[in-house]
Amino acid sequence: MSILSRKRILLGVTGSIAAFKAADLASKLTQSGTEVDVILTNAGEKFVTPLTFQSVTGRRAFTDKDLWGDEAHVLHVDLGKKADLLVIAPCTANTIAKMAHGISDSLLTVTALASTCPIVIAPAMDGGMFDHPATRENLKTLQTRGALVAGPAAGHLASGLSGVGRMIEPMDILGHVRVALGKNGKLAGKKVIVTAGGTQEAIDPVRVITNHSSGKQGYALAQAALDEGAEVTLITTPTGLNPPIGARVVRVKSAQDMLDALMNESADALVMAAAAADFRPKDTAKDKLKKRDGIPQIQLEAAPDILKTVASPGGVAKRFRIMVGFAAESRDLLQNASEKLKSKGLDFIAANDISADDAGFAVETNRITLLFADGARENLPLMSKAEAAEKIIAHIARLLE
C-alpha cells in the first residue's frame, strides 16, 4: 500500500495562473488513494472553480464563503486537525507572507494556523517577487518552522519574462509530499543505497554491451525507501526514468563505475537491483570501429562482481550493514538464487523468473521469491514493482530494527 493511500491531504490553492495545474495534482493524489480536501482562496477562485476540484476529488471543495457559513466556527479547526498534510500549490507571495506572520484572514490561512500537520509549500510568482528580500525572509521563517518548500523552478513566467518563480510540476510536488509524509517512517535516520539499471560496457565511443533492465524495480525501491524516511542514494545507469524526489542521484555507466561509486559510500543497507554486466570488452576502441575494416572480433573479459567485491574482507565489508541482491533467472530459479545468496554474502535475495511475460525486465509487475540467509523464504504473488519494493524495504527495516 502506497504511502499516499488512506491519507487525508489538504490542498490549498491560491491566486496564480499555476492554479490550473493544482487540478492535476488533486487528481494524482486522489488516484493514489488520498482523500483530498481543497481550499481555494478568493484569488485562487478567479483562476479555477471549486467545481473543477470537486470533479476530480469527488469531495466538496471549500472557499472563503465557508469561512462564514454554518460550520465556520469549527470548520478550519476540523480540516486542520484531521489532515495528515497541508500542501499549498500554487502558493503566492501574499499567502507565504501571511503564513509567516500568522495572519489568518481566509479559510486557507486560518486552517494553516489551526493545523499541526507537516506543510509543503510550492511557491509560484514572478521572478522579482520571489527574489524580493521580504519573500525570501518569509520563506526562511516558514522553513525554520518546519515547512518544506518545493521549488519554484526556472522557466517562462506569466509576466512574459524568464526567471525563477514557476511552480514545479505536479508530479514533483507529489514527490515532495511523499518526502514530508515519510519523514518519521521506519527508516528515519537510516541510509539506504539502491543501484538500478543495466550497465553499459563500451565497445567503442559509439557502441555498448548492455541488457534489457529498465531500472523500474530499482527506482521503485528508492521511492519505497524514501517513503519510509530513509536518506536514499540512487546509483543509476542511464534509464530515461525520473529519479524519485529526495534521492541523491549518482550517475554511472559501467559495472566498474558502479563499483567505484560504491567504494565511496557506506550505508545501513545496500540494495543491488542493477543488472550489472558479467562480461565486458577486454579493450575499448578509442575511435569508432569502421565497417570498412571488417567485422570486429570483440574479446570479452570478466567485469568486476560488485556485490562480491564490496562484501569481501578486503573490500568495504561492513560499510553496508544489510546487503540485498537480485537474482534474475530463466531456469532453476530458487537453486541459483540460493547459491548467489551464499556466494555473495547477502542478508537476502529477491529471485525473479525472467522467462515469465509478467515479471522481470521492462514490465510493470514482478513475481518474486525472497530467500533469507537464515533459510526463511517468502513467495510474493504477482504485484506491481512498487508493491514488491515496499515488501523488500519492509524486510530491510525489520532487519535493521
Query: Nearest approach, Cβ of 278 to ligand CTP (angstroms)?
Result: 5
Of the chain, the end-to-end C-alpha distance in Å amounts to 21
DSSP secondary structure code for residue 169 in this structure:
P
Work out which of 4, 93, 274, 388 binds ligand CTP, going by CB under 6 A. 274
Could you give the CA distance from residue 57 to residue 50 in angstroms, rounded to a whole number?
A: 11
Is residue 221 close enough to count as binding ligand CTP by CB under 6 A? no
Q: Which of 89, 42, 94, 34 is nearest to 58 (CA)?
A: 34
* Smallest gap from residue 340 Cβ to ligand CTP (A): 5
Max Cα-Cα span within the chain: 85
By CB under 6 A, the residues from 356 to 385 that bind ligand CTP are none
Is there binding between residue 139 and ligand CTP (CB under 6 A)?
Answer: no
- Listed ranges 102-110, 153-161, 239-247, 321-329: which one lies at the site for ligand CTP (CB under 6 A): 321-329
Among 168, 245, 307, 354, binds ligand CTP (CB under 6 A): 307
Q: Pick one of 311, 325, 389, 395: the residue that binds ligand CTP (CB under 6 A).
A: 325
Question: Catalytic residue at 264?
Answer: no
CA distance 262 to 272: 11
Structural Rg of the chain based on CA atoms: 25
Residue 305 binds to ligand CTP (criterion: CB under 6 A) = yes
Residue of 42, 138, 184, 211 marked active site:
211
Among 38, 247, 255, 368, binds ligand CTP (CB under 6 A): 255
3-class state of residue 242 by DSSP: coil
Q: Cβ 331 to ligand CTP, closest distance in Å?
A: 10
The span of 63-71, 144-152, 243-251, 323-331 binding ligand CTP (CB under 6 A) equals 323-331
| Collapsed DSSP state (helix, strand, coil) of residue 314 | coil
* Residue of 111, 112, 107 lying closest to 68 (CA atoms): 107
Site for ligand CTP in 50-89 (CB under 6 A): none
Per CB under 6 A, the segment of 49-57, 85-93, 229-237, 273-281 that binds ligand CTP is 273-281
In whole angstroms, the minimum distance from the beta carbon of 99 to ligand CTP comes to: 46
Torsion angle in degrees (nearest 10) through CA of 178, 179, 181, 187: 120
**Of residues 39, 174, 272, 371, which one binds ligand CTP by CB under 6 A?**
272
| Minimum CB distance to ligand CTP, residue 215 (Å) | 12
Q: 360 in the Ramachandran plot: left (φ > 0), alpha (ψ -120 to 50) or beta?
A: left
> Which residue has 565489508 as its cell numbers?
317
Q: Residues 7, 28, 166, 340: which binds ligand CTP (CB under 6 A)?
A: 340
Instruction: Work out whether 276 is an interface residue with ligand CTP (CB under 6 A).
Output: yes
**Pick from 67, 86, 232, 306: which binds ligand CTP (CB under 6 A)?**
306
Can you list the pairs that 156-162 forms with residues at least 24 positions away whose Cβ atoms lie under 8 Å? 157/126, 157/127, 158/16, 158/17, 158/126, 159/126, 159/127, 161/126, 161/127, 162/127
Distance separating alpha carbons of residues 339 and 386, to the nearest angstrom: 26
Distance in angstroms (rounded) separating the CA atoms of residues 380 and 325: 16
Which of 226, 269, 255 has the alpha carbon at shortest distance from 401? 269
The window from 5-13, 42-50, 137-145, 276-284 that contacts ligand CTP (CB under 6 A) reads 276-284
Residue closer to ligand CTP, measured from CB, 117 or 380: 380
Stretch that binds ligand CTP, among 93-101, 103-111, 114-122, 272-280 (CB under 6 A): 272-280
- Give the count of beta carbons closer than 10 Å to the beta carbon of residue 206: 10
For the bound state, the minimum distance from the C-beta of residue 128 to ligand CTP, rounded and expressed in Å, comes to 49
Residues that bind ligand CTP (CB under 6 A): 255, 272, 274, 276-278, 303, 305-307, 325-328, 340, 344
Annotated catalytic residues are: 211
